[in-house]
C-alpha cells in the first residue's frame, strides 16, 4: 500500500482520505505506508514510510517491522487497522494484545490465481492472508459479495465481518459551473 499523492490507486485513495477525514470526527490516527522518506514531514506526522516505493519484499517487511516498533515506542496504539495483509503479516508478533481490524478489499490470492500466477505463489499468498485473518478480531468489507468471499474462501465467521459501503464526498465534486461551462472547460462538444 502506498501514499496516494505519490501513487494513484483506489486502495491508496481510500486510505489517504481516511487519514485526512477521521481526525475531523475525533478519531486519532497514524499511518505507515510504502513511500518516500518525506511522508512524515509532508503529512504533519500522521503518516510515515516504512520503505521506498518498489523496494524488495524483504526490505519492505523489515522496514514495516521497524516503523511499527517506532510507532509503538512513540504512542500507545489501542487498536491496529490493516488495509493489506502483505504488510500486516510481518508485524503479527508485535501486536501483543491489541485488537486487529482488517479491511478486506478482495481476495489477493484468488486474484493472483486468475491473473495466471503460479500455484505456489498463490498458495503462499493465501497462507499469508490466512495467518493475518486468523489474528483479526473484525473485518470491514465494502459489499455483501466481499463478505461472502471472506466467509467461504477464508472461513471467517459472519459475525466478525461488517459491511461498510463505500461513500463519496459529494461536496468535493460539487461545482458552480454550468453544464455549458463545464463542457467548455473539458474541451467537450456543446
**DSSP per position, 79-114:** -EEES-HHHHGGGGGG-TT--EEEEE-S-HHHHHHH
Confidence band for 3, pLDDT divided at 50, 70 and 90? low
Q: What integer is the mean pLDDT of 4-15?
A: 74
Q: What span, in angstroms and rounded, lies between the C-alpha atoms of 52 and 6?
A: 11
User: Cα dist. 134→33, 65, 82, 161, 175 in Å?
Assistant: 23, 19, 13, 13, 45
Q: Which of residues 102 and 106 earns the better pLDDT score? A: 102
Tell whether the model's pLDDT for residue 123 goes beyond 80. Answer: yes
Tell whether the model's pLDDT for residue 165 goes beyond 70. Answer: yes
Tell whether the model's pLDDT for residue 69 goes beyond 80. Answer: yes
Give residue 35's pLDDT. 87
Q: What integer is the mean pLDDT of 73-84?
A: 92
CA distance from start to end of the chain: 41
Q: Which of residues 190 and 140 earns the better pLDDT score? A: 140
User: Cα dist. 29→33, 39, 89 in Å?
Assistant: 13, 15, 20
User: pLDDT per residue over 12-44, tens digit each?
Assistant: 777 788 888 888 999 988 999 988 888 888 888
Instruction: Please report, rounded to a whole number, the percentage of residues in the chain having pLDDT higher than 70.
Output: 97
Domain segments of the chain as ranges: 10-185
Tell whether the model's pLDDT for residue 2 goes beyond 70. Answer: no
Confidence band for 185, pLDDT divided at 50, 70 and 90? confident
| Residues 95 and 135 sit within 8 Å (Cβ to Cβ) | yes
Tell whether the model's pLDDT for residue 156 goes beyond 90. Answer: yes
Confidence band for 158, pLDDT divided at 50, 70 and 90? very high
| Residues 71 and 98 sit within 8 Å (Cβ to Cβ) | no
CATH superfamily of 10-185: Glycogen Phosphorylase B; (3.40.50.2000)
Amino acid at each position: 500500500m502506498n501514499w496516494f499523492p505519490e501513487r494513484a490507486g483506489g486502495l491508496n485513495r481510500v486510505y489517504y482520505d481516511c487519514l485526512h477525514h477521521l481526525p475531523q470526527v475525533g478519531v486519532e490516527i497514524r499511518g505507515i505506508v510504502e513511500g518516500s522518506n518525506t511522508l512524515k514531514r509532508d503529512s504533519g506526522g500522521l503518516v510515515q514510510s516504512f520503505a521506498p516505493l518498489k523496494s524488495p519484499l524483504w526490505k519492505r517487511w523489515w522496514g514495516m517491522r521497524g516503523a511499527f516498533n517506532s510507532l509503538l515506542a512513540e504512542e500507545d496504539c489501542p487498536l491496529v487497522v490493516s488495509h493489506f495483509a502483505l504488510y500486516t503479516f510481518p508485524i503479527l508478533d508485535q501486536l501483543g494484545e491489541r485488537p486487529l481490524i482488517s479491511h478486506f478489499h478482495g481476495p489477493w490470492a484468488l486474484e493472483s490465481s486468475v491473473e495466471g500466477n503460479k500455484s505456489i505463489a498463490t498458495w503462499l499468498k493465501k497462507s499469508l492472508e490466512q495467518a493475518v485473518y486468523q489474528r483479526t478480531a473484525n473485518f470491514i468489507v465494502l459489499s455483501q459479495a466481499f463478505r461472502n468471499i471472506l466467509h467461504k474462501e477464508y472461513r471467517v465467521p459472519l459475525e466478525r465481518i461488517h459491511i461498510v459501503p463505500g461513500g463519496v464526498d459529494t461536496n468535493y465534486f460539487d461545482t458552480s459551473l454550468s453544464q455549458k461551462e463545464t463542457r467548455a472547460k473539458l474541451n467537450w462538444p456543446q
